[in-house]
Amino acid sequence: MPEPMDNTVPAASGPRLRLMAVHAHPDDESSKGAATMARYVAEGVEVLVVTCTGGERGSILNPAMDRPEVLANIGTVRNEEMARAREILGVEQRWLGFVDSGFPEGDPLPPLPEGCFALEPLEAASEPLVRAVREFRPHVMLTYDERGGYPHPDHVKCHEVSVEAFEAAGDPDRYPGAGEPWQPLKLYYHMTFTKDRMLALHAAMEERGLESPYVDWIKRLDERPQEWEVTTRVPCAGFFETRDQALLAHATQIDPNGFWFAVPLDVQREAWPTEDYHLARSLVDTELPEDDLFAGVREKVSL
C-alpha cells in the first residue's frame, strides 16, 4: 500500500472532515450506519453516500407498494426513494451506475444475469469508485465485510470494490485516468447485526413484557458465527428517529409494520445506543476501542 498522502484540507474547501459510505443498493444506506451519518452531518462533517447499483432487480418488500405499476418502474421508483432518504439524512449521494445483480435463490443457484454488477471485472467495477474517492477526498470510508454483511452478490462486490478503491486511490500509478490521487486514512466494516446487540435488544424487550423480533435470529446465531470484532461504537441514539424516517422513505423495501420498527426507540436508546463497526484498515494511530470514526484522523487534519 502506498504511503498516506498529505490529507490537509485547505480552508477554502469547506468542512474539515469527510466520510464516504459505499453501498450496494438504494435503502442500504438507511439500514446500515444511517444514524451515524446523520450525527456526523449535524456536527459539520461532509458525508457522501455512493450507491453502486440502482436496485432494479430488488423485490417489493412492503405489501402496500406491491402494485403492477410500481414493479414495472421499480428502477425509477427506487431512485425517487433514494432522493427522499438522502434529503432526510442530509447527505450527498452519487450513483455509480451499475445494474443490480438480483439475489439468486434455488438449488442449484441460477446464474447471475449478464451485465450485472457482480459479474463486472474488478478494475472496471472499481474505476468509478476510485474516481469518486479522488473527487470527494474522504478521510474515512465505510463498507461491508468480505461476506457482504449477508451473501448478496452485490454486497460482496461492494466490499471488493471498496477495498480496491481504498488501496488504489492514493497510488498515482493505478487508475491514472481517474483523477488526482487521494489516500483515505481509515476503512470500516458495518457491524449491524452482532450477537451482543441482538441479545441486548432481545433481553430489553422481554424485560418489558414485549414480543422480541430476535427469537428466530438468536436460534440461528451459531450457524453463522461473527467473524469480525467490534472495534468502534459510535453513540448516535439521538439520530435513531432520523434513521427510521430515512428507512421509511424506501417504501418499496421497508414495511412500516415490519421488523425494522418492532423495537420501540426508547428501548433501543437505552439498551444499545450506538452503531458499531470493525476497523479494517488504518493509516493513522488510534487506540481501540473507539467511539469516533475519525479517531486519529482529527489530529491529521489541520484546523
Whether the CA torsion 239, 149, 159, 108 is positive or negative: it is negative
**Torsion, CA 251, CA 154, CA 104, CA 193, rounded to 10:** -70
Q: Tell me if 171 is assigned to a ligand binding site.
A: no
Q: Identify each DSSP E strand in the chain by its residue range.
A: 18-23, 46-53, 92-98, 140-143, 186-190, 232-235, 274-282
Q: Tell me if 28 is assigned to a ligand binding site.
A: yes
Q: Give the Cα separation of 134 and 94 in Å (integer).
A: 13
274-282 sheet: strands from edge to edge: 92-98, 46-53, 18-23, 140-143, 186-190, 274-282, 232-235
Q: Tell me if 23 is assigned to a ligand binding site.
A: no
Residue 148: closest CA among 156, 138, 140: 156
CA atoms within 13 A on the CB side of 214: 18
Q: Which residue numbers belong to the known binding site?
A: 25, 28, 155
Q: Which residues are annotated as a binding site for Zn(2+)?
A: 25, 28, 155
